[in-house]
Chain A
Amino acid sequence: MKQGILTLSELTKFIELLKTSYKVFAPVKKEEGVFFEEVNSADDIALGYYNSKLPPKRLFLPQCEVLCTFENGQLVEIPIADEKCAIFGMRPCDALALSRIDMVFDKEDLKDPYYLARRKNTVLLSLVCDKPLDTCFCTSVGGGPSSGDGSDIRMVHLGNRLLLEALTEKGESLISSAKQFLKKPKQSDLEEKEKIVAESEKKVPRIKVDGIKENLEKGFNLPLWSAIAERCLGCGVCTYLCPTCYCFDITDEVKGEKGKRIRTWDSCQYPLFTLHASGHNPRPSKTERMRQRIMHKFFYAVENFGRTFCVGCGRCVRSCPVNLDLRESIELITGNKACVSTRK
């Protein structure tokens, strides 16, 4: 069974069913914004949200993760998460971002067991985006409000009901296990879905990204980098809130004889990221670090993985304390006038 209609009144039972075998995470509205948290019942879920403040990547690459624990210098335990989770209502851009990070952590010779265990044990139900903001530009970087990459089930919010479509076997098995709540979708449902998707795609602002890889290839020493990075304060919020940023640091945390080796978020915007023990730093100032961030997402990643590592979610644009707008930087690099094409 590939598709199903779930009326919102049945949502609570659907969530209960999910909870029997999964820990369910969903967007929860809090004072400072919407965050992905574990929910106990359907009414905690903020279905009509724009996008969460922190990306759901946090559930796969936590801000701090224990690689192993040790005592008196001896390895004790390697805690690899094995609990099954379900993420309900993730936006397609975040799901797309996860499929990008999968390429880094799932290389044939060097696989990351911690991340992949979480990915394998999680089913993703993404919610088609019918509320793009003025800072979104997913359609310009290979994404879209209804892109299915990275998610197991794609859901569309049709007024008082949800149309569920399975995109992977995991999704299909979940839908068939919830058959008793789902009805067969009618043709009108599918048309309504197409209308919502088309309308939403039109609403997403577009920016000029084509040609950026070629410009970056030649653009390493361009003076525009210091112009772009002049305002930057090196706070790293753009990388901590970016769904495709995966850089991490490994340190040891000790208390008495016990301790643990932890993996924590890190950012290319921090000076210590590349500081050598000899004191030499290949990227000493904010200019080089801002250049690294843009080069990595739009040139190095394309060269290594064939994909742009930006999904156009706009979080870095909205949360930068000095309003350093990635879209303006992109348009500065691709040679267009540095003005942001607002909603057409």
Chain B
Amino acid sequence: MGAEEQTVTSQKVTAQSKNKTDGWKPKVVAFLCNWCSYAGADLAGVSRIQYRPNVRVIRVPCSGRINPLYIVKALQEGVDGVLVSGCHPGDCHYISGNLFARRKFAILKNYLTYLGIEPERVQFSWVSASEGTRFAMLIEKVISDIEKLGPAQKLVKEVSR
């Protein structure tokens, strides 16, 4: 699970033309906080735990670094789901990064659901550095949720028009 460089740029996440039937595979972006969740993902990899490959991990210094526009921009670039994962409240390397982030995510999640976007599209979680297996299960759950939803149609940008 190589780490990719930090900012979400349009080249990173290309949307293939998709319709439900032709073997569509979900593409999910995961913003993992460098100290806990990313380390948890690393632990899962080191201990050979298998989990679904459709995740593109983007390492960020802290879940507090996530600007809501990153998430909305990812959805616009055609990604099917976004996962943001940080340290458990109280474990944050920067003490309050995830606590501030929690409020931002609460508002964003409610707002996107209010607009009509399926709640499972954007998910948030806390994974600590020692929870390798829990990370793998989290990814399995997120991917299966997204598979149930099918490809993203809302907020997706088409350039061809």
A–B contact at 8 Å CB threshold (below): yes
A interface residue numbers (CB < 8 A to B): 69, 253-260
From residue B26, how far is it (CB to closest CB) to chain A in Å? 18
Set of chain B residues within 8 Å of A258, measured between Cβ atoms: 159-160
Determine if B14 is an interface residue (Cβ-Cβ < 8 Å): yes
Set of chain B residues within 8 Å of A253, measured between Cβ atoms: 159
Q: Which of B87-146 contact A (CB under 8 A)?
A: none
Does B160 contact A256, Cβ atoms closer than 8 Å?
no
Does B159 contact A259, Cβ atoms closer than 8 Å?
yes
Q: How far is the CA of A256 from the CA of B11 in the complex (A)?
A: 5
Determine if B10 is an interface residue (Cβ-Cβ < 8 Å): yes
Number of A-B contacts (CB under 8 A): 22
Closest to B13 in A: A256
The interface size bin for chain B is 10 to 19
Closest to A259 in B: B159
Q: How far is the CA of A260 from the CA of B159 in the complex (A)?
A: 7
B interface residue numbers (CB < 8 A to A): 10-11, 14-15, 77-78, 157-160
Which one of A255, A259, A260 lies within 8 Å of B77 (CB-CB)? A255
Set of chain A residues within 8 Å of B157, measured between Cβ atoms: 255
Closest to B11 in A: A256
15 contacts between A and B (CB under 8 A): A69-B159, A253-B159, A255-B14, A255-B77, A255-B78, A255-B157, A255-B158, A256-B10, A256-B11, A256-B14, A256-B15, A257-B11, A257-B14, A258-B159, A260-B159
From residue B15, how far is it (CB to closest CB) to chain A in Å? 7
Interface centre among B10, B14, B78, B159 (most CB of A within 10 A): B159
Does B10 contact A254, Cβ atoms closer than 8 Å?
yes
Set of chain B residues within 8 Å of A259, measured between Cβ atoms: 159
Does B159 contact A254, Cβ atoms closer than 8 Å?
yes
Q: How far is the CA of A256 from the CA of B10 in the complex (A)?
A: 6
Q: How far is the CA of A259 from the CA of B160 in the complex (A)?
A: 8
From residue B66, how far is it (CB to closest CB) to chain A in Å? 22
Set of chain A residues within 8 Å of B14, measured between Cβ atoms: 255-257
Q: How far is the CA of A179 from the CA of B73 in the complex (A)?
A: 56
Q: How far is the CA of A259 from the CA of B77 in the complex (A)?
A: 13
